[in-house]
Chain A
Amino acid sequence: MLKYILRRLVTMIPTLLVISMLVFVIIQLPPGDYLESHIAELQSQGESVDEQKIQFLREQYGLDKPMLQQYLFWVGGMLQGDFGYSFEYDLPVTEVVGDRLFLTIIISIATILFTWMIAFPIGIYSATHQYSWGDYGLSMLGFLGLATPNFLLALIMLYLANVYFGTSIGGLMDPEYIDAAWSYDKLLSILEHLWIPVVVIGTSGTAGMIRRLRANLLDELQKQYVTTGRAKGLPPGKLLFKYPLRVALNFFVADIGNLLPTVISGAEIVAVVMSLPTTGPILLSALQSQDMYLAGSFLMFLALLTVVGVLVSDIALALLDPRIRLGGAASK
């Protein structure tokens, strides 16, 4: 197993290299670079452009060099912990993202917990009471959640929260706290705003998770070993949690690999609609304005998290399921 983990870690290196090339090429694909789109923007606003300054910037950032050289410069920097410089914000990438990362993680973790807390009881109930009124009703609620566009729900919730609770529209805290130091009031304000994005982002995920948990658990409940457990005289609750639920959790653990990147990227569209100070909108605007180091480093970070997440879930699966841990595979 140790050997297996080592091997997986080593194979991550070429994977990430290939991803970095793809990311870089895709970012470079649209014609022009950040400075050109910047000039175009300035000209459209009727401002004059200082050719000399542009030229200086171009040399400064190495934008006049061939693509391969730019790529090597970028990758080399990342290996030393330098993620490049954001043109748009005029700040190093780490500083642009750093501030918002913390809030993004808070929202995402709250969302995941919300999803689990709602989805697990409902999924278990639906599976154990298949085709009951409760199952149908909850399933319909789930489908409603799945079918409602998130941004629409976001707008409605913002409006309702403002009308009934007086919560300020948009953002993750009242405006006066935005640049203030951390305080008890600021925390309260965040909590007051937090639930709306959590509910909005969570609904679709919850619905999906209910459906998957229900389907997996239903499969397991049919299995003979559940009958064995009943024949042993196990009480229903203990039987459910020890046997079928435990086996049905495999899909859930396999899902952890996908969770890590979403924790960081956040739900972009919803974040834009609700003007949340998370990383999602930054990524979106960086891609639009060809702010290449910001976008590139961000995407690389997501890729790294995906690869690590998959490894973590594979290891967790092996821990949870002895068939994966101990089972041998025969080769034909």
Chain B
Amino acid sequence: MRARKQHDDKGEPLIVDSIQPPPLLEVNNLAVDFSLNGSPVPAIKDLSFTVRPGESVALVGESGSGKSVTSQAIMGILPLNATISAGEILFNHPGSGKILDIAAIDAGSDQMRSIRGGSISIIFQEPMTSLSPVHTIGDQISEALFLHRDASRQEGLQLTRTMLEHVGFPHPARAMKMYPFELSGGLRQRAMIAMAMICHPALMIADEPTTALDVTIQARILKLIKELQAELDMALLLITHDLGVVANMADQVVVMYHGRVMEAGPLQDLFGNPQHDYLKALMHAVPRFDLEPGERLVPVREIHSEIGDLLQKETPSPVNGGAGAHLQVRDIRKTYQLHSGTWVGSETRELLAVDGVSFDVERGECFGLVGESGCGKTTLSKIIMRAITPDQGEVIYHDHQQAIDVRGLEGNDLLAFRRKMQFIFQDPYSALNPRMTVFDILREPLVVHELGDLDYQREMATELMHLVGLDPRFLNRYPHSFSGGQRQRIGIARALALQPDLIICDEPVSALDVSIQAQVLNLLKDLQQELGLTFVFISHNLAVIHYIADRIAVMCRGRIVELATREKLFANPVHPYTRALLSAVPHPELSQPLSFDAINEAAESEPALWQFPFTIEHNQATDFIQLDEGHYVRVMAGCKSSDLAA
């Protein structure tokens, strides 16, 4: 381990080791190979680290760095085409007190099965797909208990209920009979944790446990894991790419890259004084709140974008120059009908997805929309694009001199308007047709709008590839041969093919690794500057929004609760929901730990529980008042900005 060696060189004593308890898990020189078409491809090379009882160790790295394979090797659940080719995984089995080499035990043997779930358990990233859709929560959790512990049916179910209550289910008895799809993402992950904890394992592996969750829910889940860990004296192997989570959860950190350890050591050493270039690069790639204005993120790998002749506009629109509103959204409201069936009849509920949303987007600015999943931001973006029809409200697009009522467009007018506004999607995997080559994907918008002949389209596609920093020789390839970040760049190129003025970016980086995220964010920022684009940027990640947006609207339950310029919103957040969001962000710095004590279960996103004057009871009227220049907040009807001071 490089870091520790460096400490040796500095002459720091190694006595610490001798007073520490013996390791619970010791991975020595582990190597795992995948066999692809008969030839071995190494996924992990020479990996070593130790986990002591009760300690938290974080495995950090990008996708493809081998961190998940490590967890699979420890659990003995490697895919069939993977084999441990060298090394040992020594596990100090708490039941027998013996030290077992997991790498040498047959993964299908009874001994390994009793370790899996009994002494080592795991939780996964995506709680929806990790639970069986057709079995109740209670069944799936108690199953783990009955497999490993001698408990009667009654006792087992009672223990399961207690566990569910422990992980924060409000109605554990009812939850026992519920199915995963009936629960929210946060509760599903809690059920997953209950399942992993029910046998009181000595080691829990958490494989990106909060990556799929909203930031406030992430904070609660991290808090829960921390509490349970302390209570049960359990060791935690945390696998994540999020340095903010690492800074708040880990005692020891192991940084992996391409199946190798780059740097390892105690959290304080690594974050306080990173030695290896890779870790330094990762740290620079993470968007932070304390970035100077104009400071750029440094991606691990830069990309070079260049603008060709076809894409260069004759008169670039003025940027950030107060050129008037580009898009006006007025009082948009949209409700969904939800039908739920039971054995005796069905009921229909109304879900208010977007409620009276109004805002202006200036020409050339980046307007950020931030909020948790289900807050209506994607519905809103689709209404602006005219992919969904709202119940009321209007969308007005200003095409320089001419104001266009987007909702009133029909036929050819609508088709012509489509060229002005384009969309970048969240998931780069499903946004590209796998049966079309990149050339066909980039050409399609031009074909739909009958722009140019084949030669023009080929030239345009080549320029677009240059624009997003991809080699035009890849034009004949299919999307599957590209990585997630490259695919997202193809999606961006497609959105730019029609040379639109306004682009809606719906969570364009949330499916990407930190290093790739910085790359794509920088690309978007540059393109906006150079092509004079207006962005509506949707994200749940406040750090990303902070990096890219000029003005930010915070959405909750279909309403905009606060709207301000970036500086004002982050310097002086007024609304309790905005504050909750900000306080839930894990910073990749040791000086700003998450205050787990301040995390209030379920209160942040419940309008009825917001303190005066922000409280919104059911369907109550609200006012959107101005605090100072360009800073608005939603309060109870009739309140003045002077009430806020009180």
- The answer, among B195, B343, B351, for a CB contact under 8 Å with A232, is B195
Indicate if the CB atoms of A328 and B339 lie closer than 8 Å. Answer: yes
Indicate if the CB atoms of B132 and A225 lie closer than 8 Å. Answer: yes
Indicate if the CB atoms of B133 and A331 lie closer than 8 Å. Answer: no
Indicate if the CB atoms of B121 and A231 lie closer than 8 Å. Answer: yes
- The answer, among B129, B179, B388, for a CB contact under 8 Å with A223, is B129
Indicate if the CB atoms of B337 and A331 lie closer than 8 Å. Answer: yes
Known A-B contacts A235-B113, A322-B134; the reply to A1 vs B344 at CB < 8 A is: yes
Of listed A3, A232, A236, A247, residue having the most chain B CB within 10 A? A232
Residue of B with least CB distance to A243: B132
Q: Mark A1-39, 1 if CB is under 8 A from B, else 0.
A: 111100000000000000000000000000000000000
In the complex, what residues of A have CB within 8 A of residue B131's CB?
A: 225, 228
Residue of B with least CB distance to A250: B134
Q: Mark B106-125, 1 if CB is under 8 A from A, else 0.
A: 00100001111110011010
What are the 5 tightest A-B residue pairs by CB atom distance, in nearest-first order?
A233-B117, A328-B340, A1-B343, A233-B116, A232-B117
In the complex, what residues of A have CB within 8 A of residue B603's CB?
A: none
Residue of B with least CB distance to A329: B339
Q: Which of B80-109 contact A (CB under 8 A)?
A: 108
Known A-B contacts A3-B344, A323-B133; the reply to A231 vs B181 at CB < 8 A is: no
In the complex, what residues of B have CB within 8 A of residue A223's CB?
A: 129
For the complex formed, measure the closest distance between the CB of B145 and the CB atoms of chain A, giving whole angstroms: 10
User: Which A positions have Cβ atoms within 8 angstroms of B?
Assistant: 1-4, 223-225, 227-236, 242-243, 246-247, 320-323, 325-332
Indicate if the CB atoms of B147 and A332 lie closer than 8 Å. Answer: no
> What CA separation (Å) do A320 and B182 show in the bound complex?
16
Indicate if the CB atoms of A323 and B388 lie closer than 8 Å. Answer: no
In the complex, what residues of B have CB within 8 A of residue A236's CB?
A: 108
- Show 14 A/B contacts (Cβ-Cβ < 8 Å), sorted by A: A224-B126, A224-B129, A225-B130, A225-B132, A229-B132, A231-B121, A233-B144, A234-B143, A246-B134, A247-B134, A321-B133, A328-B340, A330-B337, A330-B339
In the complex, what residues of A have CB within 8 A of residue B144's CB?
A: 232-233
Indicate if the CB atoms of A228 and B124 lie closer than 8 Å. Answer: yes
Of listed B124, B133, B148, B340, residue having the most chain A CB within 10 A? B133
- The answer, among B114, B192, B336, for a CB contact under 8 Å with A330, is B336
Known A-B contacts A233-B118, A323-B134; the reply to A227 vs B124 at CB < 8 A is: yes
In the complex, what residues of B have CB within 8 A of residue A232's CB?
A: 116-117, 121, 143-144, 147, 195
In the complex, what residues of B have CB within 8 A of residue A331's CB?
A: 336-337, 339
Of listed B108, B144, B179, B341, residue having the most chain A CB within 10 A? B341
Q: Mark B190-220, 1 if CB is under 8 A from A, else 0.
A: 0010010000000000000000000000000
Chain A-chain B contacts (Cβ-Cβ < 8 Å), number = 110
> What CA separation (Å) do A326 and B136 show in the bound complex?
12
Q: Cβ of B346 < 8 Å from any Cβ of A? A: yes
Indicate if the CB atoms of B179 and A323 lie closer than 8 Å. Answer: yes
- The answer, among A3, A4, A233, for a CB contact under 8 Å with B147, is A233
In the complex, what residues of A have CB within 8 A of residue B414's CB?
A: none
Q: Is the interface of A mostly helix, strand, loop or mixed?
A: helix
Q: Cβ of B464 < 8 Å from any Cβ of A? A: no
Residue of A with least CB distance to B337: A331
In the complex, what residues of B have CB within 8 A of residue A230's CB?
A: 75, 77, 116
In the complex, what residues of B have CB within 8 A of residue A2's CB?
A: 343-345
Residue of B with least CB distance to A331: B337
Q: Mark B267-308, 1 if CB is under 8 A from A, else 0.
A: 000000000000000000000000000000000000000000
- The answer, among A1, A247, A326, A328, for a CB contact under 8 Å with B132, is A247
> What CA separation (Å) do A2 and B340 show in the bound complex?
14
11 more contacts with CB within 8 A, not counting A3-B346, A326-B181, are: A228-B130, A228-B131, A231-B121, A232-B195, A233-B114, A243-B135, A321-B133, A323-B181, A326-B342, A327-B340, A332-B336
> What CA separation (Å) do A233 and B111 show in the bound complex?
10
In the complex, what residues of B have CB within 8 A of residue A246's CB?
A: 132, 134
Of listed A224, A236, A243, A246, residue having the most chain B CB within 10 A? A224
Known A-B contacts A233-B147, A236-B108; the reply to A322 vs B179 at CB < 8 A is: yes
- The answer, among A3, A224, A328, for a CB contact under 8 Å with B130, is A224
For the complex formed, measure the closest distance between the CB of A132 and the CB atoms of chain B, giving whole angstroms: 11
Q: Cβ of B621 < 8 Å from any Cβ of A? A: no
In the complex, what residues of A have CB within 8 A of residue B113's CB?
A: 233-235
Indicate if the CB atoms of B338 and A225 lie closer than 8 Å. Answer: no
Residue of B with least CB distance to A1: B343
In the complex, what residues of A have CB within 8 A of residue B388's CB?
A: 332
Residue of A with least CB distance to B118: A233
In the complex, what residues of A have CB within 8 A of residue B338's CB?
A: 328, 330
User: Which B positions have Cβ atoms within 8 angstroms of A?
Assistant: 75, 77, 108, 113-118, 121-122, 124, 126, 129-136, 143-144, 147-148, 179, 181-182, 192, 195, 336-346, 351, 388
Indicate if the CB atoms of B77 and A231 lie closer than 8 Å. Answer: yes
Indicate if the CB atoms of A231 and B182 lie closer than 8 Å. Answer: no
Residue of A with least CB distance to B148: A233
For the complex formed, measure the closest distance between the CB of A245 and the CB atoms of chain B, giving whole angstroms: 11
Residue of A with least CB distance to B110: A235
Indicate if the CB atoms of A225 and B346 lie closer than 8 Å. Answer: no
- The answer, among B124, B133, B342, for a CB contact under 8 Å with A247, is B133
> What CA separation (Å) do A175 and B566 show in the bound complex?
94
> What CA separation (Å) do A246 and B140 show in the bound complex?
14
> What CA separation (Å) do A4 and B343 show in the bound complex?
9
In the complex, what residues of A have CB within 8 A of residue B343's CB?
A: 1-2, 325
In the complex, what residues of A have CB within 8 A of residue B147's CB?
A: 232-234
Residue of A with least CB distance to B132: A225
Residue of A with least CB distance to B205: A231
> What CA separation (Å) do A242 and B338 show in the bound complex?
31
Known A-B contacts A233-B144, A234-B143; the reply to A328 vs B133 at CB < 8 A is: no
Indicate if the CB atoms of A320 and B134 lie closer than 8 Å. Answer: yes
Residue of B with least CB distance to A247: B134
In the complex, what residues of A have CB within 8 A of residue B351's CB?
A: 330
> What CA separation (Å) do A329 and B349 show in the bound complex?
11
In the complex, what residues of B have CB within 8 A of residue A326's CB?
A: 179, 181-182, 340-342
> What CA separation (Å) do A3 and B135 show in the bound complex?
25
> What CA separation (Å) do A326 and B124 show in the bound complex?
25
> What CA separation (Å) do A327 and B134 show in the bound complex?
12
- The answer, among A1, A225, A328, for a CB contact under 8 Å with B129, is A225
Indicate if the CB atoms of B340 and A231 lie closer than 8 Å. Answer: no
Indicate if the CB atoms of B344 and A231 lie closer than 8 Å. Answer: no
In the complex, what residues of A have CB within 8 A of residue B118's CB?
A: 233
Residue of A with least CB distance to B344: A2
Indicate if the CB atoms of A224 and B124 lie closer than 8 Å. Answer: yes
In the complex, what residues of B have CB within 8 A of residue A321's CB?
A: 133-134
Of listed A224, A228, A233, A243, residue having the most chain B CB within 10 A? A233
Residue of B with least CB distance to A236: B108
> What CA separation (Å) do A238 and B114 show in the bound complex?
15
In the complex, what residues of A have CB within 8 A of residue B195's CB?
A: 228, 232
In the complex, what residues of A have CB within 8 A of residue B339's CB?
A: 328-331
For the complex formed, measure the closest distance between the CB of A69 and the CB atoms of chain B, giving whole angstroms: 43
Residue of A with least CB distance to B345: A3
In the complex, what residues of A have CB within 8 A of residue B129's CB?
A: 223-225
For the complex formed, measure the closest distance between the CB of B640 and the CB atoms of chain A, giving whole angstroms: 39
Residue of A with least CB distance to B115: A233
Known A-B contacts A224-B124, A224-B130, A330-B336; the reply to A1 vs B117 at CB < 8 A is: no
> What CA separation (Å) do A297 and B195 show in the bound complex?
57
> What CA separation (Å) do A232 and B124 show in the bound complex?
12
In the complex, what residues of A have CB within 8 A of residue B77's CB?
A: 227, 230-231
In the complex, what residues of A have CB within 8 A of residue B346's CB?
A: 3-4
In the complex, what residues of A have CB within 8 A of residue B337's CB?
A: 330-331
Residue of B with least CB distance to A244: B132
Indicate if the CB atoms of A327 and B108 lie closer than 8 Å. Answer: no
> What CA separation (Å) do A242 and B342 show in the bound complex?
25
> What CA separation (Å) do A230 and B75 show in the bound complex?
9
> What CA separation (Å) do A236 and B195 show in the bound complex?
19
Residue of A with least CB distance to B139: A242
Residue of A with least CB distance to B121: A231
Of listed B117, B136, B148, residue having the most chain A CB within 10 A? B117
Residue of B with least CB distance to A231: B122
